[in-house]
Amino acid sequence: MRKLAVEILCEIKDENSNSTNLLNKNTKNISDLDSKFLREIVYGTLENRVYLD
Instruction: Indicate the domain borders of the chain.
Output: 2-52
Per-residue pLDDT of the chain (53 residues; tens, 9 = 90+): 999 999 999 999 999 999 999 999 999 999 999 999 999 999 999 999 989 87
What does DSSP assign to residue 28? T
Burial 5-42 (b: 16+ CB within 10 A, else e): beebbeebeeeeeebeebbeebbeeeeeeebeebbebb
Instruction: Give the number of other Cβ atoms within 10 Å of residue 44's Cβ.
Output: 11
Of the candidates 37, 40, 44, 46, which has an alpha carbon nearest to the alpha carbon of residue 16?
46
Rounded to two decimals, the pTM is: 0.89
